[in-house]
Structure 1
Amino acid sequence: MVGIQAQKTDEKLPVYMRLIELQQLFRFMEADKQKFALRNHMMYKLLATTGMRRQKSVDLTWEQFELEWNTVRIYGKGNKERFLPLHPMVLPLIQKYREQ
């Protein structure tokens, strides 16, 4: 097996939503009245406005939100702490979800 190279695997690039698709998604979510609609709406807007990874948003706790500073604290690679600004469109959703 010496000298035989392994085949290259195709690494797929991420596919991003266009702005119009994102706007359609948000309009749908604003009209949704199902059980987890508010949570889903908040999480998708949080992802879209901060650029954080999906798993980081799933792992968030209330202690990571600094609402008086409009930021969220996340931990990156190497457990490095960083603060992401929260967009004004997400703040009312976070407050409403927290009250529920």
Structure 2
Amino acid sequence: MAIAFLNEPPPSVARRPLTEDDAVDIWIARWLRIRPVDLQRRYACDPRRLYEIWEETHFPGSRKRALEEFQSRFPGLEPRFDSGPHRRIPLAPHPDQLNLFSKV
């Protein structure tokens, strides 16, 4: 099944606030490995809006609804991706790591 994904936002999407249906589609696009920059272009939004959805600070429960929708659209693909919540991985080393190299 081929999925068309527009880089430019359709006229109805351009310059409007994101909805819960958009949040579900953004989750599904993430699991289909659509690049965040393409999602930003499609929904004409700031990248922070995507992370608000993925962290579920905006539209809580959208991940669960998206997973149900994904299973109905693409049966059998669920085990091929991590459907868990978004996790931030800090770039700075953990402060406890500095203890490993100190001379006592």
Q: TM-score, normalised by structure 2?
A: 0.27
Bigger fraction of residues in strand: 1
Q: TM-score, normalised by structure 1?
A: 0.28
